[in-house]
């Protein structure tokens, strides 16, 4: 009887046992990530920013957990062990991106749990100086597991406003992360298309910090995800791909053998826009480069004929003209776009020989092919099967091709994520650089595979051909992208469209020129016709001849998403300041330099809006660091300033 009573007493005590809590705090004491295991066996987390009475909630208590086929890691979890907290102090280099030398500091802890069936689950937690990251791991060996759903939520405080792009429907051309960003969306607002919201999601809590929610290090053993369409009470959840993506091919639910390491859920946090725009947290959580010899990986500017003349890749003589444009402007590459393998008036080898003679590298377009898309543009069906892909890449290496643009993926399912990784691995073996189009969002792969030069995943300048609504919305969209889409990785927007296409642009030519600095991409494709650049006035033409694409540093200077943005980027000792206005009214700026410009005297060349939307104004003067730069920007206008240190 005593034994029975003792067991009953223990059970009663257990039923009222308090929740268990763990937390990690960033080295600068500003960022806090807390995890709680309720007595019901459910996990939750919380993110806060600040210290003392200025500490604010960024993400309120939100669910954690996984449901696998035949295994529940949401309810009934029991704590197993906690590894000691350890410090992360890391430095690494990027060949292209916001900055060359990256530093990150964090506190890391791993918590181990078991579900009701005794199966293990591990949770990695990190608190960085500018955000948090967490991921799930299933230890063990062998045995395939399938994820049915992920319980991870993001409970946003009441009054939070978001800048987000709706996830698109699955069609012949989508999803491709090419919807417009919606501005100041109230937390809890359903997606207008009913398919969820795409990462990244930019947000501001009421009166509190700014944050950016995304994911990173998505491997071939997982799918890419999004935020749920419905967000009752302001709680967004992780949503898996749509069944119709990729022509209906591939499983929605990812599977893997054990051990299974899942993607990082990343929340960048800061008290201002600089923390978001300047952050490298997405690459910080990714593995180091797997490419040992990187001398062949060279960022650069690209001449591109397709935007001004879509059939032109099928004309050898027209392609040679763009080789000559690249040579004249000092640009490193030219891209031959779709259907080059049915070229007339010469062939691709004529273009390659001409480019070699002019000292210009050639990039070629490819359809990603395979059963996941039915787009007919050629060449297709050469990259899906690995033996065929490797044969093709080896052939391109023999031809002297420097890189390829691979288009039309249309899916975030695991099978297509695996295709991205297969392309990255095999292209590295044959020293071929890559650019993905019609693709998923950057998730830090460019650190692990530095020959990944850019990714589209944006409603870019090509929409001047397709979308009559684009010109009106582009000025505002352009001012949002540095805070959201381009904040998480390189963006092949194909900017600097100075002349008009089917739907004339409303931005000024100075606005278009500024996009070459405002937007970051390891390959910068100049979209306009050759004459648009060759006939430029001296100052903007010289600017485009010398504008870098791989930066040593990036600083947020001023702005607000949807209104305007000013960024400063550095290459060597030279700084490039650029700004754009997204509004229909002029804007005057008094730009301070003391927070980003090193001491010294600088020669400055300023190029801004002229007397009308299609003209420039330029002036040269000297500036002492610490002095202010006064700029007037026209409606939907822009400017660039080159600051060279004086000896």
Model confidence over 195-249: pLDDT tens digits? 999 999 999 999 789 999 999 999 999 999 999 999 999 999 999 999 999 999 9
Residue ranges of the chain whose pLDDT lies below 70? 1-17
- Within 8 A by CB and 6+ apart from 30, the residues are 49, 50, 51, 129
Name all contacts of 461-465 with Cβ < 8 Å and 24+ positions apart. Answer: 461/307, 461/493, 461/494, 461/495, 461/497, 461/527, 462/307, 462/494, 462/527, 463/178, 464/307, 464/497, 464/500, 464/501, 464/502, 464/503, 464/504, 464/505, 465/307, 465/310, 465/501, 465/502, 465/503
8 Å CB contact between 277 and 567: yes
Q: How many CB atoms lie within 10 A of CB 378?
A: 17
Q: Is 72 exposed, middle or buried (0-12, 13-18, 19+ CB in 10 A)?
A: middle
d(CA 181, CA 162): 10
Q: In what order do the strands lie in the sheet with 452-455?
A: 452-455, 433-436, 403-407, 361-367, 333-336, 300-304, 523-526
Ordered by where they begin, the domains of the chain are 19-284 (2.70.98.10), 300-547 (3.20.20.70), 568-645 (2.60.40.1180)
d(CA 290, CA 425): 9
- Counting residues of the chain whose pLDDT is more than 70, the rounded percentage is 97
d(CA 361, CA 53): 57
8 Å CB contact between 255 and 222: no
What pLDDT score was predicted for residue 15?
47
pLDDT digits (tens, 9 = 90+) for 359-395: 999 999 999 999 999 999 999 999 999 999 999 999 9
d(CA 133, CA 123): 11
Q: Is 81 exposed, middle or buried (0-12, 13-18, 19+ CB in 10 A)?
A: exposed
- Within 8 A by CB and 6+ apart from 388, the residues are 381, 382
Instruction: Give ∠ CA 553-557-558 in degrees, rounded to 5.
Output: 150
d(CA 327, CA 321): 10
d(CA 231, CA 188): 5
d(CA 173, CA 467): 14
What pLDDT score was predicted for residue 387?
98
8 Å CB contact between 26 and 106: yes
Q: Distance between alpha carbon 89 and the CA centroid of its chain, in Å?
A: 24
d(CA 624, CA 634): 26
Token pair recorded at residue 255: 């599977």
d(CA 50, CA 32): 8
DSSP state of 342: G
- Taking the whole predicted model, whether its pTM rises above 0.85 is answered as yes
């Amino acid at each position: 009887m005593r034994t029975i009573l003792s067991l009953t007493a223990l059970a009663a005590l257990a039923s009222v046992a308090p929740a268990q809590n763990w937390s990690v705090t960033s080295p600068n004491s500003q960022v806090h990530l807390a995890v709680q295991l309720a007595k019901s066996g459910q996990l939750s987390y919380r993110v806060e920013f600040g210290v003392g009475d200025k500490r604010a909630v960024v993400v309120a208590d939100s669910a954690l957990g996984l449901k696998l086929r035949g295994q529940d890691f949401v309810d009934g979890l029991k704590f197993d062990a906690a590894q000691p907290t350890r410090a992360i102090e890391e430095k690494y280099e990027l060949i292209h991106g916001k900055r060359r030398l990256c530093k990150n500091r964090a506190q890391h802890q791993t918590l181990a749990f078991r579900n009701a069936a005794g199966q293990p689950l591990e949770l990695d937690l990190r608190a960085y100086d500018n955000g948090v990251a967490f991921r799930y791991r299933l230890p063990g060996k062998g045995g395939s597991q399938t994820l049915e759903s992920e319980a991870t939520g993001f409970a946003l405080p009441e009054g939070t406003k978001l800048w987000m792009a709706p996830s698109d429907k699955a069609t012949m051309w989508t999803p491709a992360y090419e919807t417009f960003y919606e501005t100041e969306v109230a937390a809890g607002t359903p997606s207008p298309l009913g398919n969820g919201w795409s990462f990244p999601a930019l947000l501001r809590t009421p009166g509190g910090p700014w944050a950016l929610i995304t994911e990173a290090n998505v491997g071939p053993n997982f799918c890419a995800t999004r935020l749920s369409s419905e967000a009752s009470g302001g709680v967004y959840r992780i949503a898996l791909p749509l069944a119709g993506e990729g022509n209906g091919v591939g499983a929605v639910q990812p599977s893997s053998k054990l051990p299974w390491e899942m993607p990082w859920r990343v929340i960048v946090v800061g008290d201002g826009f600089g923390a978001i725009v300047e952050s490298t947290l997405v690459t910080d959580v990714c593995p180091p480069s797997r490419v040992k010899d990187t001398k062949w990986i060279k960022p650069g500017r690209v001449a591109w004929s397709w935007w001004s003349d879509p059939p032109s890749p099928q004309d050898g003589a027209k392609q040679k003209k763009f080789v000559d444009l690249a040579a004249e402007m000092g640009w490193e590459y030219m891209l031959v776009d779709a259907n080059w393998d049915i070229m007339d008036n010469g062939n691709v080898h004529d273009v390659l020989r001409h480019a070699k003679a002019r000292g210009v590298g050639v990039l070629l377009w490819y359809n990603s092919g395979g059963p996941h898309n039915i787009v007919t543009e050629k060449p297709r069906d050469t990259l899906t099967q690995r033996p065929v892909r490797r044969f093709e890449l080896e052939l391109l290496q023999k031809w002297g091709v420097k890189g390829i643009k691979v288009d039309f993926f249309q899916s975030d399912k695991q099978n297509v994520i695996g295709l991205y990784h297969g392309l990255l691995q095999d292209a590295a073996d044959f020293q071929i650089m890559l650019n993905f189009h019609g693709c998923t969002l950057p998730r830090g792969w460019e650190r692990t595979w530095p020959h990944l030069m850019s990714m589209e995943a944006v409603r870019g300048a090509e929409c001047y051909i397709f979308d009559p609504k684009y010109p009106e919305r582009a000025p505002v969209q352009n001012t949002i992208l540095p805070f959201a889409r381009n904040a998480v990785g390189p963006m092949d927007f194909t900017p600097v469209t100075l002349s008009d296409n089917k739907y004339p642009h409303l931005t000024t030519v100075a606005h278009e020129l500024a996009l070459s600095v405002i937007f970051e991409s390891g390959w910068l494709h100049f979209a306009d016709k050759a004459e648009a650049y060759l006939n430029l006035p001296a100052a903007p033409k010289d600017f485009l001849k010398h504008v870098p694409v791989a930066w040593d540093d990036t600083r947020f200077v001023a702005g607000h998403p949807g209104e305007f943005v000013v960024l400063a980027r550095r290459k060597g000792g030279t700084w490039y300041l650029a700004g754009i206005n997204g509004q229909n009214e002029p804007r005057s700026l008094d730009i301070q330099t003391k927070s980003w410009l090193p001491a010294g005297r600088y020669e400055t060349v300023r190029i801004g809006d002229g007397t009308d939307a299609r003209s420039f104004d330029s002036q040269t003067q000297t500036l002492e660091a610490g002095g202010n730069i006064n700029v007037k920007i026209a409606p939907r206008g822009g400017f660039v300033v080159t600051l060279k240190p004086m000896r």
